[in-house]
Amino acid sequence: MRRLATVVSTIAFALSGLAISPANTAEISQVLPSASTPRFTASDPEIATPATFDPGIQNAIPSDYFNSVSCPSSGNCVAVGSFRNADGFREAFVQTLTNGSWSNGIPATFDPGIQNTSPSAYFVSVSCASVGNCAAVGTFENANGYYEAFAQTQTSGQWDTALPATFGGGIQNANPDSSFASVSCPSVGNCIAAGRLKNSSGFYQAFTQTQTNGVWDTATPVTFGVGIQSMYPNSSFSSISCTSVGECVVVGKFKNTNYDDEAFMQTQSNGVWGTAIPAAFSDGIQNERPQSRFNSVSCASVGNCVAVGGFSNTVDANEAFTQTLVNGVWANARPAIFGAGIQNASPGAGLDIVTCLSPGNCVAAGQFRNINGDNEAFTQTQANGQWGNAVPARFANGIQSATPNSLFWAVSCASVGNCVAAGQYTNPNGDNEAFTQNQINGQWATAIPSTFAVGVQNQNPASYLVSFSCAPDGSCVGVGEFANASGYYEAFSQKITLTLEPPAVAPAPKTTNVTKVVGFATNSSALTAAQKVALKALVAKSGKKAAFVITGTAGKLPGLSDKKVKALAIKRGEIVKAYLVKLGVNKSKITVRAQITNQGIAPKTKVLARYLESK
């Protein structure tokens, strides 16, 4: 599973052809997340951390790598891969991050007599439904020397014994050759693993195996409609995504009746698998002899998914493409679109990974051949259902080789527009290094090489990041492999934090007070025409939603009790209130008070309107 032998992506296929079709050169504007989307900032990646093992477990000459990581919450992850044990044989292993601290790596355990005495096993995929509840899948060599798919389940923090995939009678070959490629767990104890098997006739078939309430069922081979698949089957699943129990989509490739490779998908609805469906292209896009495959799928909700991969166009050049499922209906496949002068006439492109946060909001990543014939990593973002132009990875001056050779293996998002893509690139000295690139608030930042503590990494680096997982709070962990100071390979992890910015606090609206004075004749409570005009002006200025405080005022008179004077003051206030209501002011917004002035002081009824200037 080591990926350092070449930087050219396995999804690029044969790099041949003359030109891309004109339909693939159109420009599409990117729709970025709205201003209401939570805003993030990104920290620099932390120092990379090599995997650790208990004494006597790992070989003195390590040969280890991670293939996958899943983080159900911040600081809680499981990474899986393979390592060389003390006896020089290869074993699958897991390593767990708990509350921000990594435990030592733990080898997969099998019941006696299951695994070969000279083990050869590796995990390729892990999915965690919650902290301490995960499933890891991969391949191992059995006691008879044949390879079998297997799964291992973590329940409440404890790993069970690894279990080989099981098949109904007459399905699997007497000399097994099966493997898992991907697993997805929508809830605790409910997972589906996908891969391929050698059938009883010696041909390869894609298959799935379902875990229900913690128990793995027998595996189910893929089914095609009549006349779709070759009579000599050769199909495999590469990726699966489940949104809830019984609601999944799995993708891969198969051989059609002409024995050409075609991408295909299969959908599970209400727990029932439908018939597999080949990817569909508009006329004039795909080659008459298809060479296509899906590498990854991600579903944001039931019936809303995106699958990505590569295909051979009409002039036999390889292009990246996406295909979108909207409300349960697959649209036609769509080639990746680059701006003018970016992609080579012979594109050599493919998308290796996709992740979707919500329907219509996804990020895909992979590799393409640029205008100069060099290989570059790129991303493509779908926002609000629209795919933007593909964007090459961007490095600061002096970081990347003058003849780029980079690709993305992984991408994960904390929220819409806030993601981390990761892979490997070639530095100016010709060495391969792991790197990450952050998308913050819909914009891609400059790529950043992975860093190790002094004396850990080889002076001629050889590293890559193959998987990333981001928790919703922006805590992200990536895993991969690097060459240590002695030139031996070790698994490593690296953390990046996308920090949610506190929401901007808008300045409090300024409150404005406006006062009008209404003078009443002695012992009178009637409004004059002029006073009504003044009150209309007040309401026009403050608005009908303003709060009004009316202070009805009356002066003391000889022989008149204070009670009667107060009653007159209230009456004057109520007269003003009635007129404000007539002007459209809500009664609940009006307060009436009474004030008595001393004899000789002219009583003046005040009307105070209080309103916000931002009304």
Which residues lie closer than 8 Å to 610 by C-beta, 6 or more apart?
Answer: 511, 512, 513, 542, 546, 547, 548, 549
Instruction: Give the distance from CA 293 to its chain's centroid.
Output: 22
What is the model's pLDDT at position 501? 59
Averaged pLDDT score across all residues of the chain? 90
pLDDT digits (tens, 9 = 90+) for 287-337: 999 999 999 999 999 999 999 999 999 999 999 999 999 999 999 999 999
Give the whole-angstrom CA distance, residue 100 versus residue 96: 10
pLDDT in tens, 107-166: 999 999 999 999 999 999 999 999 999 999 999 999 999 999 999 999 999 999 999 999
Instruction: State the average pLDDT over residues 185-213.
Output: 98
Please report how the helices 562-582 and 529-542 are oriented relative to each other, as an axis angle in degrees rounded to 10.
Answer: 60
Q: Which of 12-16, 47-51, 449-453 has the lowest mean pLDDT?
A: 12-16
pLDDT at 35 exceeding the cut of 50: no
Q: How confident is the model at residue 606 (pLDDT cuts 50, 70, 90)?
A: confident
Is residue 282 within 8 Å of 290, Cβ to Cβ? no
The three-point CA angle 58-63-68 to 5° equals 95
> pLDDT at residue 11 above 50?
no
pLDDT in tens, 236-270: 999 999 999 999 999 999 999 999 999 999 999 99
Report how far residue 481's alpha carbon sits from residue 312's, in angstroms, rounded to the nearest whole number: 31
Mean per-residue pLDDT for 424-438? 97
Instruction: Say what the pLDDT of residue 522 is.
Output: 67
Give phi and psi for 184, each to the nearest 5: -140, 130
